[in-house]
């Protein structure tokens, strides 16, 4: 093994040991005295109304996934905004196509009724 890789190997071993050692030390140091209030789902002072494993409609998940998709897609506009002047008209056309595809996806989801709660 070449000598240049020894610091990388040492760093890798330290990086793998650090979380394990930190968890073990935390387990040994922390107090372990659970009681009923600590074992409840939330310690907000209000008793839980029902089980936390309730069923949700599929529409809730569809709207959540659509939000994540459209939110992540708009993040791709940031690099374009940083390099706006160097890209020129090619960059403007590129973003126009990108936003067009994004808009078509939004219209498609709206027409399918994925954004309606009722």
- Per-10-residue mean pLDDT of the chain, 118 residues long, equals 88 96 93 72 65 72 81 82 85 88 86 76
For position 41, what pLDDT does the model report? 66
For position 70, what pLDDT does the model report? 80
Nearest alpha carbon to residue 109 among 69, 77, 57: 69
For position 37, what pLDDT does the model report? 65
For position 69, what pLDDT does the model report? 81
Nearest alpha carbon to residue 67 among 95, 105, 111: 105
For position 43, what pLDDT does the model report? 55
Nearest alpha carbon to residue 105 among 60, 80, 74: 74
Residue carrying the six token digits 């309730």: 54
For position 118, what pLDDT does the model report? 63
With a CB cutoff of 8 Å and minimum separation 6, the contacts of 91 are: 80, 83, 84
Take residue 82 and report the two structure tokens written for it.
């940083």
Entry pTM: 0.45
For position 97, what pLDDT does the model report? 92
Domains parsed from the chain with CATH numbers:
3-112 (1.20.58)
Handedness of CA 95, 97, 102, 104 (dihedral sign): positive
């Amino acid at each position: 093994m070449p000598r240049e890789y020894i610091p990388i190997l040492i760093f890798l071993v330290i990086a793998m040991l650090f979380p394990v050692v930190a968890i073990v030390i935390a387990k040994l140091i922390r107090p372990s005295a659970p009681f009923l209030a600590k074992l409840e789902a939330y310690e907000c002072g209000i008793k839980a109304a029902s089980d936390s494993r309730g069923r949700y409609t599929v529409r809730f998940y569809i709207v959540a996934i659509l939000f994540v998709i459209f939110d992540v897609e708009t993040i791709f506009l940031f690099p374009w905004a940083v390099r706006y002047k160097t890209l020129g008209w090619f960059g403007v056309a590129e973003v126009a196509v990108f936003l067009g595809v994004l808009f078509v996806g939004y219209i498609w989801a709206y027409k399918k009724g994925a954004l309606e709660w009722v």
